[in-house]
Amino acid sequence: MPRFKLTIEYAGTRYSGWQIQKNAKTIQGEIDRAVRTITGRKDFELYGSGRTDAGVHAAGQVAHLDVSTNLPAEPLRRRLNDELPADINILAAEQVPHRFHARHDAVGRRYVYQIARRRTAFSKTFVWWVKEPLDVGRMRAAAGAFVGMKDFKSFADTDDDGEGTRSTMVLVDRLDVVEQGALVLVAIEGSHFLWKMVRRIIGVLVEIGRGGLDADVAGQLMRDESSTPAKLTAPPSGLFLDRVYYKNDRRDASIRAITPLD
C-alpha cells in the first residue's frame, strides 16, 4: 500500500477544525470522504501533522495518506481536488517511504496571525480587526519573552487530543511582529504548540500593543501561573498554519500575508 505526503491549504471558517468528529464538519472528514469516493476504499489511514482548531486556517498543513490505489500522486491529487469543496485544496502530493510520518517526523511548525488595522469587507474571516491603535514597537519588545525553551503553562488549555498529559515546555525558535500595509503579522515558529497557546500569545501581545498591559508583563506571565492569557485569547479567524518543517527543509525567514489587504 503506497504512502502519499499531502500538502494542504484550507479556509477553516466553515469547519470544526482538522480532526474528524462525530456530527461535525471537519477538514480531515472532508478529505476522508473524497478518498473513499475516488478509491472506493474504506481501509486507509489519513494522518495530519497536527490539528487546527475550529475556524483556524492553513496555508501548508501536511498529512500522510496510506491507501491502496493504482493512481500516481499527481492524478490522485487532481481527482481528490475535484471531490473536495472549494475551501479545501491539496497543493501537492508525492509518494514517500513508509517511514515518513506527517506528525512524528515534523521538526518545526510556523503559524502566522493576521491582525487588521482597518475594517474590511472581504477578509474579515481571515483577520482579527483591532479597532484601537497598536504600538508595534511595544509588541516587539514583549515578543522576546516567549522565545527559547519555556514553560507555557499559563498559555495552554486542557490537552484533549487523546495522548494524555503533555509537558507544557515548548521551544519557540522565533517570534516576529511585522507591519505589512493595513496588517500587523505575527509569525511564531517552534518545535510544536500547545492547544490555544498561539492564540493566547497573540492576545497578550495585542493587549500590550493597545496599552492595556505593560510590555514587561509578558515575562511575568511566563514566570507565574496566571489566568490572564486565557481571558485574552485571540479569535481563530486570523490564525494560519503556515508551514510544517521536516528534516533538511529550508526555513524561509521571510513573512508574508496570506490574504493581503493592500
- Give me the DSSP letters along 104-143: TTEEEEEEEEEEESS--SSSGGG-EE--S---HHHHHHHH
135 is catalytic: no
Tell me the chain's radius of gyration from C-alpha atoms.
19
Q: List the alpha helices (DSSP H) in the chain.
A: 27-39, 73-83, 136-143, 197-210, 217-223, 228-231
Nearest CA among 166, 148, 150 for reference residue 158:
166
For residue 241, what is the enclosing H or E element?
A: strand 239-246
Choosing from 32, 43, 53, 252, the catalytic residue is 53
CA separation for the pair 239, 199 (Å, rounded) = 8
Residue with cell 471531490: 83
Q: What amino acid positions are annotated as catalytic residues?
A: 53
